[in-house]
Amino acid sequence: MHRWTYTLLPSLFVLHFSIEAKEMLDFRDLSEWRAKVFKNETIYRLIDDESIDKQVLHGQSQDAASALIMEKEIDLTETPWLSWQWKVDTFPTTDNEKLKAQDDFVWRISVTVVPGMTMMSSKTVVYVWTPNQPQNSFWPNPFAPKRFKMLAATSGDQKNQWVTVTRNVREDFKRLYGKDYKRLSIVAVTSDSDNSQSQTSAYITPLTFLEKL
Chain segment 174-203, per-residue pLDDT in tens:
999 999 999 999 999 999 999 999 999 999
Chain CA centroid to CA 5, Å? 34
Q: pTM (2 decimals)?
A: 0.90
Question: What number of other Cβ atoms are within 10 A of residue 72's Cβ?
Answer: 13
Compute the distance between CA of residue 189 and CA of residue 132 in angstroms, rounded to an integer. 20
pLDDT in tens, 51-106: 999 999 999 999 999 999 999 999 999 999 999 999 999 999 999 999 999 999 99
How far is the C-alpha of 155 from the C-alpha of 134, rounded, in Å? 6
pLDDT band at 15 (very low <50, low <70, confident <90, very high): very low
Nearest CA-CA partner of 36 in 119, 95, 100: 119
Whether 17 shows a pLDDT value over 80: the answer reads: no
d(CA 25, CA 179): 25
One-letter amino acid for residue 157 of the chain: D
The structural domains of the chain, with segments of one domain joined by +, span 21-210
Please give the single-letter amino acid code of residue 88.
V
Q: Which CATH class is domain 21-210?
A: mainly beta
